[in-house]
Amino acid sequence: MATLTEDACKEALSTVVDPEIGMNIIELGLVYDIDIDEASSDVRVDMSLTTPGCPLGDQITSMVEMALKRIGAAKIDVNIVWTPPWNPDMMSDEAKMKLGWGIR
């Protein structure tokens, strides 16, 4: 199995789609930090959700875990954070265009 890298994790996480919005969590800017312990292949992901009351938070967390396991992560800690609060400005320019919001 290849060494886990931040880029590999981001690529894997780009397969995790927020079911309500229909875009992946990387494009949406929901992933704030990825920390990899190379010795153990443990991965910690600090991320947010679009709203604190997101009804699909558990489902998204499970999809994050599955995506990282597929690329060889051993233990996965998904840390949902609210600081800074997510806002649409955190989305990629491509995501803004897909949603018809233009680029700010």
What's the pLDDT band for 76 if we cut at 50, 70, 90? very high
Q: What is the pLDDT of residues 12-46, one digit of tens each?
A: 999 999 998 899 999 999 999 999 999 999 999 99
Q: Are 42 and 32 in contact (CB under 8 A)?
A: no
Among 77, 82, 83, 99, residue whose Cα is nearest residue 28: 99
CATH of domain 6-96: 3.30.300.130
Query: What is the domain partition of the chain in residue ranges?
Result: 6-96
Does the predicted TM-score (pTM) go above 0.85? yes
> What one-letter code names the amino acid at 68?
L
Q: What is the pLDDT of residues 64-74, one digit of tens each?
A: 999 999 999 99
- Residue 11 pLDDT greater than 80, yes or no: yes
pLDDT of residue 13: 98
Two tokens, residue 97: 């265009």
